[in-house]
Amino acid sequence: MALASVDDLTYTYAEAAAPALRDVSLELEDGEVVAVLGPSGSGKSTLLRALAGLVPHFHGGRFRGRVTVAGLDTRRARPADLAGTVATVFQDPEDQVVMARVENEVAFGLENLGTPPAEIWPRVRGALDAVAGAHLATRRTAELSGGELQRVCLAAALAVRPRLLLLDEPTSQLDPDAAEHFLERVEDLRTTVVLAEQRTTRALALASRVLFLEGGRLLLDSPRVQALEWLALHRPAYLPGASVGNGHVPHLGETVCRVRGAVYAYGAGRPALDGVDLDVRRGEVVVLEGPNGSGKTTLAKLAAGLLQPHAGTVERTVRAGYLSQDPGRYVVRERALDEVALAVHDRGRAQVALDLVGLGPFAERHPRDLSSGERERLGLAAVAVAEPELLVLDEPTRGIDPHRKAEIADWLFGQAAQGRAALVATHDRSFPADRRIALGKEAPVAV
Amino acid sequence: MRLGPVPAALVLGAAALAALLAQRLAAVAVIAGVLLAVSLRAPASRRRPYLVGILGSGLGVLVLSPFLTAQGFHVLWSGPTVPVLGKLDVTEEELSIAALNALRLVAVALAFTVYALLVDHDRLVSAAGFARRSALGVALATRLVPSLERDGVGFAEAVRGRGVPVEGVRGHARLVSPLVAGSLERATNLAEAMEVRGFGRPGHTKAPRPPWTRLDRAAAVAAGVLVLAAALWL
């Protein structure tokens, strides 16, 4: 008997016009590692939420079909009833951590499930060991980096020894090394894993089976080898190593941003940046690389004029626009169109900017009703609409599917070709650039 | 040796209550001073916003309340008559009452600061046998204060990053609504995560915690004595 089965599931969120999932059927067997791919808004997260019972219990809406997990029908069993059998790690670790200390966070689920007290601490230690996080046990969760926090979330999920582990873009906020380590831990597990990811290379290497969702429909459900063939034929952008190549030959103009010996520290701690130099010229796309905490965001904010250096200088000769790495920041207005129009007070231009990022049809939607990837694109439109001469983008491809990523790269190089300059802080090593600068070493290194 | 979270919370609650009950300025000042000294054990970056807010509020009470009350006969300053408020003057008694109330406010707020920054909320939740949900709610609300602060800075930054200035009351007021909605969204996400982790399921257990030490018991007794002393003698 299958561990979980989804039978002809069609689900529409409350107040949504169209279903998020349409006629989806599949079965999950014990021990499978299943990668779920697809564009943002395709229904990946909704499928995971259906397997966790959150759809329909937590989100309401219209639910047709049937989902059973370990023999429990999710129409009757609530998510809390499925806890222990199913464990979920969501995209943003900050939104799922309940307790103030790591060991208590890992123990939280065990306590809820009524685990005998004598077993709790040994299982907490075991789970932290499994994610190489034993040294974090007594740390405060508020003091952990994104990568450490996401490992704690995985440990908390593993501690309950679930039969089905659901991972919803768990590496989207991690740098490549941290993401690699996280997925290595997942690979070592002896449980059924369903992994929704936009970083397809590692997910496909890990998976024994691949699902591809688009517009809420399941287009592909195949073992990995056949799935790779299908992707090569139908969705090549999702293949491992698919490049977003630009073929752009920069025509460099004058320097529009010059940073010299910049030092910046948050509070009394070690400086996030210590004596950094940077030049950005018209006509080029410069990428800032580096692990979590290396100062990419700080340098991007200095370049955009949002922060002032504590020492050193930042000279900027043109107007800059800055895209925050948190797409949740672009929800100041009630409609997507108004959100984009905030900077220019011109709805016509705002509509053009929305069309550019593929959100034209969503102009009347509330920004909070957009998926994470869609919000990311909304933010881009909101910044681009003012046509700044220097575009500073902080993690513009986070949670974005490969097609959109390629479109963003094309657009950015188009801007550079028109004589604008772009500075992109990103974990995404596949994002194309005219020049790459690595932070997190003794001094920035051009690569 | 450190106090356990429950006795620590009892002592802090007692200190706040004592500050409210005590009538002598010196007694309240001592309580506030001790709490201030304890709060300085928190990292500077975390305690700064709390202390700035507390000192600002305390000063506000001290400066404004003499103008809003009419008590005492020893006039120190006599001002003009203002519609609605009447004659503005400051008496020695008003100043004394204002100082007492300001210190009370400061002491209560400092007790909360120490609770927020230095007490282990997890163990406090764990110790709350019959009211676990309420205790967890309070602990989460306390923990989400810094998130709210970060969100506020982030919203302002994202708006400024689009070339839109965030200045004055109107500029900042524009961010209040998304900030409130954002914290509701965060709370919803957290509730979703808690639901899938079995929160609210019957039959929960507790991880074993260290028993109370002698110091813990002494602190609990001292907390009771402090409240009693404040009510009767201070």
- In a mutational test of the A interface, the residue from B45, B47, B122, B186 whose CB has the highest number of chain A CBs within 10 Å is B122
| Count of pairs with CB atoms under 8 A, one residue in A, one in B | 166
- Would you say B121 and B139 are in contact if contact means Cβ atoms under 8 Å apart? yes
CB contacts, 8 Å: B158 with chain A: 322, 324, 326, 329-330, 379
- Would you say B138 and B9 are in contact if contact means Cβ atoms under 8 Å apart? no
Mean pLDDT in residue range B152-167: 87
Buried b (16+ CB within 10 A) or exposed e, A336-370: bbbbbbbbbeeeebbbebbebbbbeebbebbbeeb
CB contacts under 8 A, A 208-237 vs B, are: none
Q: Which tens digit of pLDDT belongs to each residue from B78-93?
A: 777 777 767 777 787 8
Domains of chain B, by residue range, sit at: 5-200+217-232
CB contacts, 8 Å: B143 with chain A: 100, 142
Residue A179 has pLDDT above 80, yes or no: no
According to the model, what pLDDT value does residue A248 have? 65
Residue B174 has pLDDT above 90, yes or no: no
Q: Which tens digit of pLDDT belongs to each residue from A250-307?
A: 778 899 999 999 999 876 667 888 888 999 999 999 999 887 778 888 999 999 999 9
Q: How far apart are the first and last CA of chain B?
A: 29
Which conformational region is residue B81 in: left (phi greater than 0), alpha (psi within -120 to 50 degrees), or beta?
A: beta
- Tell me, yes or no, if A14 comes closer than 8 A to chain B by beta carbon: no
Residue A24 has pLDDT above 90, yes or no: yes
Residue A382 has pLDDT above 50, yes or no: yes
Residue A115 has pLDDT above 90, yes or no: yes
Backbone angles phi, psi at A245, to 5 degrees: -20, 145
Distances, alpha carbon B162 to alpha carbons A37, A340, A342, A381, in Å? 32, 10, 8, 10
Do A114 and B203 lie within an 8 Å CB cutoff?
Answer: yes
Do B204 and A113 lie within an 8 Å CB cutoff?
Answer: yes
Mean pLDDT: which of A10-14, A374-378, B117-121 is highest? A10-14
Picking from A218, A220, A224, A189, the residue whose alpha carbon sits closest to that of residue A203 is A224
- The rounded percent of chain B whose pLDDT value lies above 70 is 95
**Residue A193 structure tokens:** 């894993």
Do B186 and A95 lie within an 8 Å CB cutoff?
Answer: yes
- Tell me, yes or no, if A73 comes closer than 8 A to chain B by beta carbon: no
According to the model, what pLDDT value does residue A447 have? 47
Nearest-neighbour CA in chain B from A264: distance (Å): 15
**Per-chain mean pLDDT for chain B:** 82
Do A332 and B122 lie within an 8 Å CB cutoff?
Answer: no
Strands, DSSP E only, in A134-191? 164-168
- Tell me, yes or no, if A89 comes closer than 8 A to chain B by beta carbon: no
Q: Which tens digit of pLDDT belongs to each residue from A385-414?
A: 999 999 999 988 877 788 888 888 888 998
Q: For residue A247, what pLDDT band results from cuts at 50, 70 and 90?
A: low
Do A382 and B186 lie within an 8 Å CB cutoff?
Answer: no
Q: For residue B56, what pLDDT band results from cuts at 50, 70 and 90?
A: confident
Mean pLDDT in residue range B109-130: 78
Radius of gyration for the alpha carbons in chain A, expressed in angstroms and rounded: 23
- In a mutational test of the B interface, the residue from A160, A329, A334, A387 whose CB has the highest number of chain B CBs within 10 Å is A329
Give Dmax over CA atoms of chain A in angstroms.
Answer: 68
**Per-chain mean pLDDT for chain A:** 87
- Tell me, yes or no, if A110 comes closer than 8 A to chain B by beta carbon: yes
- Would you say A94 and B147 are in contact if contact means Cβ atoms under 8 Å apart? yes
Mean pLDDT in residue range B214-218: 86
Mean pLDDT in residue range A103-117: 93
Mean pLDDT in residue range A110-136: 90
According to the model, what pLDDT value does residue A268 have? 62
Question: β-pairing, A445-446 with B75-82?
Answer: unpaired
Which of A115, A116, A324 shows the shortest C-beta gap to B158? A324
Residue A219 has pLDDT above 90, yes or no: yes
pTM of the entire predicted model = 0.78
Residue B182 has pLDDT above 90, yes or no: no
Q: For residue A320, what pLDDT band results from cuts at 50, 70 and 90?
A: very high
- Would you say A132 and B218 are in contact if contact means Cβ atoms under 8 Å apart? no
CB contacts, 8 Å: B173 with chain A: none
According to the model, what pLDDT value does residue A130 have? 83
Instruction: Indicate the burial class of B223 (C-beta count within 10 angstroms; 0-12, 13-18, 19 or more).
Output: buried
Alpha-helix runs per DSSP H in A161-276: 176-187, 200-206, 224-234
CB contacts, 8 Å: A111 with chain B: 126, 204-207
Mean pLDDT in residue range A312-323: 92
- The rounded percent of chain A whose pLDDT value lies above 70 is 96
Mean pLDDT in residue range A207-220: 94
Mean pLDDT in residue range A237-251: 70
Q: Cis before residue A162, ω within 30 degrees of 0? A: no
According to the model, what pLDDT value does residue A316 have? 93
Residue A381 has pLDDT above 80, yes or no: yes
